[in-house]
Amino acid sequence: EAQVTQNPRYLITVTGKKLTVTCSQNMNHEYMSWYRQDPGLGLRQIYYSMNVEVTDKGDVPEGYKVSRKEKRNFPLILESPSPNQTSLYFCASRGGPVGGYTFGSGTRLTVV
Amino acid sequence: AQTVTQSQPEMSVQEAETVTLSCTYDTSESDYYLFWYKQPPSRQMILVIRQEAYKQQNATENRFSVNFQKAAKSFSLKISDSQLGDAAMYFCARETGANNLFFGTGTRLTVIP
């Protein structure tokens, strides 16, 4: 089954403790991206990647890092999480000129 | 500016009736894709319908259709014969030439039995 897999689904952590949210897709898509969803703000793009070793900032990149060492994986790294990064995070991939976006199931992150 | 505006934070509709959700956007590009996504309480993002800007014909998917007005930069979603399962948050989104998606702030749809 074609899918984007995010882990974990839920995460509670403390301020300053580094964490990684994993994202993997099995569709051989070149494009992948990360979004955060907050009430009243919709989904906002954090980072995106057009291909392996190519990443770029989205609208809200501060406090986040990403890497794209292989096509299928695009982890989101929070080096020093803060409470304002409490949010619902989505990973997505896109394939082809008429291909739609496939979203992961989301990660609910709480930073206390 | 890469903005997508959904001016209706909440909407409600009687079961079996029709409802229209509004969306406007800003772009300087001539070719792009527009999307409506549904997010039920499970929080999964589900593609409802997609419109290619160079196509004049409005997209339709079963009970879901759009009214795409390119000159006005308007992209509304019409849901006919509303069902209880249509209750969800609906997001309008526009894709840029760099394949980035910009989302509106969402409209929460309630379906009244």
Tokens of B38: 């549904």
From chain A, the residues in CB contact with B25 under 8 A are none
CA atoms of A49 and A51, how far apart (whole Å): 6
Select from B9, B50, B98 the Cβ nearest to the Cβ of A100.
B50
Q: Which tens digits make up the pLDDT trace of A98-109?
A: 657 899 999 999
Q: Where are the beta strands (DSSP E) in A2-86?
A: 4-7, 10-13, 19-25, 31-38, 42-51, 54-57, 65-66, 76-78
pLDDT of residue B97: 73
Mean pLDDT of B4-32: 94
B44 touches chain A (CB under 8 A): yes
At residue A97, the pLDDT reads 59
Q: Which residues contact A59 (CB under 8 A, 6 or more apart)?
A: A44, A45, A46
Q: Do A48 and B43 touch (CB under 8 A)?
A: no
> A76 falls in which pLDDT band (50, 70, 90)?
very high
Interface of B with A in 2-31 (CB under 8 A): 4, 6, 9
Quick check: A87 contacting B, CB < 8 Å? no
pLDDT digits (tens, 9 = 90+) for A34-57: 999 999 999 999 999 999 999 999
Q: How far is the C-alpha of B46 from the C-alpha of B87, rounded, in Å?
A: 13
Q: Chain-centre distance of CA A73, in angstroms? A: 10
Which pLDDT does position A42 carry in this prediction? 93
Instruction: Report the residue from B44, B47, B106 with minimal CB separation from A42.
Output: B106
Answer whether residue A67 shows pLDDT above 90. yes
